[in-house]
Amino acid sequence: MASIREYPADEVAAQPIGWWSGEVFRRVVGSIREALAVEGLTQPHWWTLNHAAGEPGRWSRAALTERLRVYDDQATDFDAVYDDLVARGWLAEDPGGMRLTAEGEAGRLRARERNLAIHRRTHEGVSEADFVTTVNVLRRMVANHGGEGNLPD
């Protein structure tokens, strides 16, 4: 774990939240994207795999695209993501919706292990209480600027 210096509270309180939250985003999401790329996946692939695994058959392409669009920061062509997963044999579609195949579930679990390693690294040296406080503060800031401060359903 990397060590960081301690600073007086007033110095920390004067820091630009936009820069720090942006830097966390760039670093954490960059690490996640690198880990997924090992499997030839993007974050939208990952989101799709998890939604299809969590509620098999529930999601049509249109419904899942609407659900995932809020998380997308790359103007993703979700149909291309679904087509890729189908072509790999990881995702099957029927009139009821999308379902993972055995190969898709195996790939999802491999990617999950990589993501869990990043999650553990991200939380190193951060207590659960501090993490909860941080997320709640960020939720409040999002809401203060007109965004959705509630946790996703």
Interval 33-85: pLDDT, tens: 999 999 999 999 999 999 999 998 899 999 999 999 989 989 999 999 999 99
Q: Which residues 6+ apart lie within 8 Å of 74 measured at CB?
A: 42, 43, 44
**pLDDT above 80: residue 2:** no
pLDDT at 96: 85
For residues 99 and 88, the answer to whether their CB atoms sit within 8 Å is no
Q: pTM here?
A: 0.85
Strand partners, 44: none
What DSSP state is assigned to residue 137? H
Identify the DSSP state of 94.
E
pLDDT of residue 61: 95
pLDDT tens by residue, 132-144: 999 999 999 999 9
Query: Could you read off the pLDDT of 76-122 as tens digits, one per residue?
Result: 999 999 999 999 999 999 888 999 999 999 999 999 999 999 999 99
Is the CB of residue 31 less than 8 Å from the CB of residue 121? yes
* Alpha helical stretches, state H, 70-101: 78-88
Tokens 């203060």: give the residue: 144
Please provide the DSSP assignment of 6-20 as one string: ---HHHHHTS-HHHH
Give residues with Cβ within 8 angstroms of 17, minimum separation 6. Answer: 141
